[in-house]
Amino acid sequence: MIRASERAMGIEYAIRDVVLPARELEKKGIKVIRLNIGDPGKFDFQPPKHMRAAYCKAIQDGHNYYGPSEGIPELREAIVERERKKNGVDITPDDVRVTAAVTEALQFIFGALLNPGDNILVPSPSYPPYTGLVKFYGGIANEYLTVEENGWQPDIDDMRKKIDERTKAIAVINPNNPTGALYEKKTIKEILDLAGEYGLPVISDEIYDLMTYEGKHVSPGSLTKDVPVIVMNGMSKVYFATGWRLGYFYYVDPKNRLAEVREAIDKMARIRLCPNTPAQFAAIAGLTGPMDYLEEYMAKLKERRDYIYKRLSEIPGISTTKPQGAFYIFPKIEERSKWKSDKDFVLDALHEAHVLFVHGSGFGKAGAWHFRAVFLPPVEILEGAMDNFEAFMRKRLGA
């Protein structure tokens, strides 16, 4: 047998791993309600018309060539405008890099920061590629706690305790996947202060920045004085174009402390040639065009959030924190005697109620005995899922 690398064999991605048993059921003709993947395009959400038109036009107009590794200048200019307006950051197109979505930005950033044995502070629970990619690049995902009783805000004392001499950066995901938490301005300031004290950069994942229900997103990029911040964002969520694989990141680095990291990232960017060219034209249309679609979509999502929160709150054996942003809810399994683990719980719910969730431990240590549900589907579908799930829980608990 030709052996594969340990690096690649060690990769786990809970969100897609649970799909295999669901597929087995579907092969037998059983209809599974999938609440596992955060993809708006699978439901009644599409990128706005002006973006779709711009994508088609770019292809028709012949923009089908390799572009610059850092992204086309017109898009980097549009990103600067968008981010100046949203976060008040003082950046130029030279500070912006366009990527194959946030996922590639993470590859660049972790690849450029980590030597074997270094670590990055990542939230627990967190979106799994943070742990997976840090590990892939030889690093250690150093998990800091976020506190459920405090609306899943980061625990700054725990963060401080976890920093050591091999820590290279602090990652912040806000609004958060999987918890739906929206961090307070005070929390962001405390994270910046801590990063400043230890001379660390902050990596800020803002992919859900305009998807909030209560309150507004605050970026560390807008508050930093001298701490280097790398802000990541893209077309996948707020612009509903997950399949286009287009995103960006930029440096807010007043003291130019990231000069070498920038150089390393540019080397990585050149070796992968360039991001998708026609999609960049569509992104310009998205960033500079009307945003009224978002209001309509957020109204739908709020109705769905309120519905699933109400239903989950009425089901015995679990407790639920109300998400403030993104489109995930992360209930806690309070009654644990019937299952061996949260994964066992999720598989039982799949086989018995035909609803697919993701087990919380797939999002890191602090996710254990929780599960994540996506509330993107229309209320009628959520209603079917919640009816089945409630019946399952009542049967299991005899309640």
Smallest CA-to-CA distance from 373 within 346, 344, 334 is with 346
Which lies closer to ligand PLP via its Cβ, residue 51 or residue 207? 207
Task: With beta carbons less than 8 A apart as the criterion, state whether 345 and 333 touch.
Answer: yes
Any residues with CB less than 8 A from the CB of 355 and at least 6 apart, and which?
32, 33, 35, 349, 385, 388, 389, 392
Which lies closer to ligand PLP via its Cβ, residue 287 or residue 353? 287
Which lies closer to ligand PLP via its Cβ, residue 242 or residue 311? 242
3-state SS, residue 329: strand
Which lies closer to ligand PLP via its Cβ, residue 205 or residue 253? 205
What's the closest the beta carbon of residue 233 comes to ligand PLP, in angstroms? 8
Which lies closer to ligand PLP via its Cβ, residue 207 or residue 265? 207
Smallest CA-to-CA distance from 375 within 43, 81, 108, 97 is with 43
Which lies closer to ligand PLP via its Cβ, residue 237 or residue 311? 237
Show the DSSP H helices in the chain as ranges. Answer: 6-9, 14-17, 19-27, 49-60, 73-87, 101-113, 129-136, 156-162, 185-198, 220-223, 259-271, 277-288, 292-313, 342-353, 379-397
What's the closest the beta carbon of residue 397 comes to ligand PLP, in angstroms? 31
Give the CB-nearest residue to ligand PLP.
101
Query: Between the CA of residue 76 and those of 1, 93, 97, 202, 253, what are the distances in Å?
Result: 47, 5, 7, 21, 17
Q: How many CB atoms lie within 10 A of CB 390?
A: 17
Task: With beta carbons less than 8 A apart as the criterion, state whether 308 and 373 touch.
Answer: yes
Smallest CA-to-CA distance from 54 within 292, 279, 243 is with 279
Which lies closer to ligand PLP via its Cβ, residue 106 or residue 114? 106
Distance CA 29, CA 321 (A): 34
Which lies closer to ligand PLP via its Cβ, residue 101 or residue 145? 101
What's the closest the beta carbon of residue 395 comes to ligand PLP, in angstroms? 32
Task: With beta carbons less than 8 A apart as the criterion, state whether 207 and 233 touch.
Answer: yes
Task: With beta carbons less than 8 A apart as the criterion, state whether 301 and 327 touch.
Answer: yes
What's the closest the beta carbon of residue 79 comes to ligand PLP, in angstroms? 14
What's the closest the beta carbon of residue 266 comes to ligand PLP, in angstroms? 20
What's the closest the beta carbon of residue 110 comes to ligand PLP, in angstroms? 13
Tracing tokens 């008040």 back to the chain, one arrives at 88
**CA-based R_g, the chain, Å:** 21
Chain residues that interact with ligand PLP, rule: CB under 6 A? 38, 101-103, 127, 173, 177, 205, 207, 234, 236, 242, 247
What's the closest the beta carbon of residue 348 comes to ligand PLP, in angstroms? 25
Distance CA 114, CA 375 (A): 35
What's the closest the beta carbon of residue 183 comes to ligand PLP, in angstroms? 13
Vertex 75 angle, CA 69 and 80, to 5°: 110
Which lies closer to ligand PLP via its Cβ, residue 251 or residue 363? 363
Smallest CA-to-CA distance from 182 within 38, 294, 321 is with 321
